[in-house]
Structure 1
Amino acid sequence: MSKDFAVIGLGRFGGSICRELSKEGKQVLAIDSDEMKVNEFKNIVSHAVILDSTDEESLKEIGIQNFEHVIVAIGENLQASILTTVILTDLGVERITVKAQNDYHEKILRKLGVNRIVHPEREMGRRIAHNVISNNILDYLDLSDDHSIVEVKAGVKMIGKSLLELNIRAKYGCNVVAIKRGEEIEVTPNPEYIFAHGDVLLVVGKDKDINRFERNLIID
Structure 2
Amino acid sequence: MKKEFVVIGLGRFGGSIVRELVAQGAHVMAIDSTSERVDEYAQIATQAIVADTTDESVIKSLGLWNFGHVIVAIGENIQASILTTLILKELGVSQITVKAQNDYHEKVLRKIGADYIVHPERDMGIRIANNMMSSNVLDYLELSDEHSIMEIKASDRIAGYSLIDLDIRAKYGINIVGIKRGEAIMISPSPEDPILLGDVLLVIGADVDINRFVKKALQD
Normalized against structure 1, the TM-score is what? 0.95
RMSD: 1.5
Cα offset, 1:3, TM superposition: 4.1
Cα offset, 1:204, TM superposition: 1.1
- Tell me how far apart the structure 1 counterparts of residues 10 and 204 of structure 2 sit (CA, whole Å): 33
Mapping of residues 126-165 of structure 1, within 5 Å: 126-165=126-165
Give the match for residue 72 of structure 2.
72
- Tell me how far apart the structure 1 counterparts of residues 38 and 44 of structure 2 sit (CA, whole Å): 10
On the 8 A contact 1:2/1:67 being kept in 2, the answer is no
- Tell me how far apart the structure 2 counterparts of residues 4 and 139 of structure 1 sit (CA, whole Å): 29
Give the match for residue 109 of structure 1.
109
5+ residue gaps in structure 2? none
Give the match for residue 10 of structure 1.
10
Cα offset, 1:60, TM superposition: 0.8
On the 8 A contact 2:31/2:38 being kept in 1, the answer is yes
What secondary structure is seen at the aligned counterpart in 2 of 1:83? Answer: helix
- Tell me how far apart the structure 1 counterparts of residues 183 and 100 of structure 2 sit (CA, whole Å): 38
Give the match for residue 38 of structure 2.
38
Mapping of residues 48-197 of structure 1, within 5 Å: 48-197=48-197
Gap change, CA 1:174 and 1:191, over 3 Å in 2: same
- For residues 73-94 of structure 1, the C-alpha deviation after alignment (integer angstroms, 9 at most, x for no partner) is 0111111010001001100110
Give the match for residue 25 of structure 2.
25
- For residues 17-74 of structure 1, the C-alpha deviation after alignment (integer angstroms, 9 at most, x for no partner) is 1111111111000001100000000101100100001011111111100110100001
Which sits farther off after the overlay, 206-215 or 57-66?
206-215
- For residues 100-120 of structure 1, the C-alpha deviation after alignment (integer angstroms, 9 at most, x for no partner) is 011110111111121111110
- Tell me how far apart the structure 2 counterparts of residues 120 and 184 of structure 1 sit (CA, whole Å): 29
What secondary structure is seen at the aligned counterpart in 2 of 1:159? Answer: coil
- For residues 139-179 of structure 1, the C-alpha deviation after alignment (integer angstroms, 9 at most, x for no partner) is 11112322211111112221221101111112212111111
5+ residue gaps in structure 1? none
- The count of corresponding residues between Structure 1 and Structure 2 is 220
Give the match for residue 202 of structure 2.
202
- Tell me how far apart the structure 2 counterparts of residues 52 and 111 of structure 1 sit (CA, whole Å): 23
Cα offset, 1:185, TM superposition: 2.3
Which sits farther off after the overlay, 28-37 or 142-151?
142-151
- Tell me how far apart the structure 2 counterparts of residues 210 and 135 of structure 1 sit (CA, whole Å): 14
- Tell me how far apart the structure 2 counterparts of residues 145 and 90 of structure 1 sit (CA, whole Å): 29
On the 8 A contact 2:148/2:206 being kept in 1, the answer is yes
- Tell me how far apart the structure 2 counterparts of residues 111 and 205 of structure 1 sit (CA, whole Å): 28
Which sits farther off after the overlay, 152-161 or 81-90?
152-161
Cα offset, 1:2, TM superposition: 9.0
Normalized against structure 2, the TM-score is what? 0.95
What secondary structure is seen at the aligned counterpart in 2 of 1:158? Answer: coil
On the 8 A contact 1:139/1:152 being kept in 2, the answer is yes
- Tell me how far apart the structure 1 counterparts of residues 112 and 207 of structure 2 sit (CA, whole Å): 27
1:201 corresponds to which letter in structure 2? L
- Tell me how far apart the structure 2 counterparts of residues 180 and 74 of structure 1 sit (CA, whole Å): 36
On the 8 A contact 2:179/2:199 being kept in 1, the answer is yes
Q: Following TM superposition, where does structure 1 have runs of at least 4 consecutive aligned residues deviating by more than 3 angstroms?
A: none
Cα offset, 1:180, TM superposition: 2.0
